[in-house]
Amino acid sequence: MVKIIIWTIAVVTVLGLVLALVLYLVAKRFKVEEDPRIDEVEKAMPGANCGGCGFAGCRAFAEAAVKAPNLDNNFCPVGGNETMAKVAQILGYEVKEKAPMVAVVRCNGTCQARPRINNYDGYASCKVKAALYSGDTGCSYGCLGCGDCVNACQFGALSMDPETGLPVVDQEKCTACGACVKACPKHIIELRPKGPRGMRVFVSCVNRDKGPVAKKACANACIGCGICAKTCTKEAIVIEGNVAYIDPAKCKLCRECEAMCPTGAIHGVGFPKPLDKDAVKARIKERQLKEKEAKDE
């Protein structure tokens, strides 16, 4: 009996030692040389693995960043400039500061403004709904309201407002990873610069129908009238396909377009004071009069 125990211990020990040696040699022979900086960069990343940078996860981003000659094409939207500064420090690169972005919902067809003309009782997914038909309102461009963007958001930054039936972005939580942009089959959500102190002006509509058709479907629709483009002194607004678009790079946040928009499709957010439409309109009128006088002279 004792003999069996001794033999067993001996055999297992010898076997263990031999296999350990084999493992040691294999590990030595087939060692994968890996840049130690990859681990360091990965540690500096937020670790959300959201894919917002265009890579499969934070590890994949770290590998790509270490391999790349500079950081121009690699940016972590979630970590933002802070994280990128850390990454640049580890890798000894320079990093260009990027303006922080935020998701904006370009549809303001609330339940009141956009009457429902039929009832959708199919599977609750915007993607499925969009593949079937134009939606339960007269607007074939607007929000379908099934919340694919809310489901796509890993950061809890999106929620459906039950009153308006539209998604709402929590700009504190939004990391601009772009998952909602990809999830929306109607391409309503856009990533825009957050703006100075979170102030920004944008057109909250993507309806490309002609004015009367758009207006009939939704009281808040952009009708492509072009008043905003005419009012804007910075040439920041273009009308394309019956819908206005404000170039964030050119916009100086004067909010004149917002005051002049006849349907209220232009939204200003993050401003400390609510917009005094009459005062702005008076200001525009005065300026236009002066311009006219200068022209006449």
**Complex with another protein: residue 81 or 125, whichever CB lies closer:** 125
DSSP-assigned beta bridge partners for residue 246: 237
Binding mask 77-116 toward another protein (x if CB under 8 A, else -) reads ----------------------------------------
Minimum distance, C-beta of residue 108 to another protein, in the bound complex (Å): 20
Contact 183, 103 (CB under 8 A): no
Contact 189, 106 (CB under 8 A): yes
Residues 209-238 that bind another protein (CB under 8 A): 209
Tell me: does residue 148 bind another protein (CB under 8 A): no
The answer for residues whose C-beta is within 8 angstroms of residue 210's C-beta and 6 or more apart is 224, 242
Tell me: does residue 258 bind another protein (CB under 8 A): no
Minimum distance, C-beta of residue 130 to another protein, in the bound complex (Å): 8
Minimum distance, C-beta of residue 95 to another protein, in the bound complex (Å): 32
Contact 65, 71 (CB under 8 A): yes
Minimum distance, C-beta of residue 188 to another protein, in the bound complex (Å): 16
Tell me: does residue 49 bind another protein (CB under 8 A): no
Binding mask 173-212 toward another protein (x if CB under 8 A, else -) reads ------------------------------------x---
Minimum distance, C-beta of residue 213 to another protein, in the bound complex (Å): 8
Tell me: does residue 7 bind another protein (CB under 8 A): no
DSSP-assigned beta bridge partners for residue 244: 239
Q: How distant, in Å, are the alpha carbons of 69, 234, 281, 293 from that of 288?
A: 52, 14, 11, 9
Instruction: Tokens 């904006």: give the residue.
Output: 104
Minimum distance, C-beta of residue 86 to another protein, in the bound complex (Å): 32
> Phi/psi of residue 178, each to 5°?
85, 5
Q: How distant, in Å, are the alpha carbons of 49, 199, 291 from that of 251?
A: 33, 11, 21
Both structure tokens of 31: 């060692």
Q: How distant, in Å, are the alpha carbons of 165, 168, 187, 269, 289 from that of 116?
A: 11, 20, 21, 27, 43
Tell me: does residue 27 bind another protein (CB under 8 A): no
Contact 217, 137 (CB under 8 A): yes
Tell me: does residue 154 bind another protein (CB under 8 A): no
- Rounded to whole angstroms, the Cα distance separating 152 from 165 reads 17
- Rounded to whole angstroms, the Cα distance separating 151 from 172 reads 18
Minimum distance, C-beta of residue 129 to another protein, in the bound complex (Å): 9
Tell me: does residue 171 bind another protein (CB under 8 A): no
Binding mask 115-134 toward another protein (x if CB under 8 A, else -) reads --xxx-xxx-x-xx--xxxx
Tell me: does residue 56 bind another protein (CB under 8 A): no
**Complex with another protein: residue 24 or 123, whichever CB lies closer:** 123
Residues in contact with another protein by CB under 8 A are: 117-119, 121-123, 125, 127-128, 131-136, 138, 140, 209
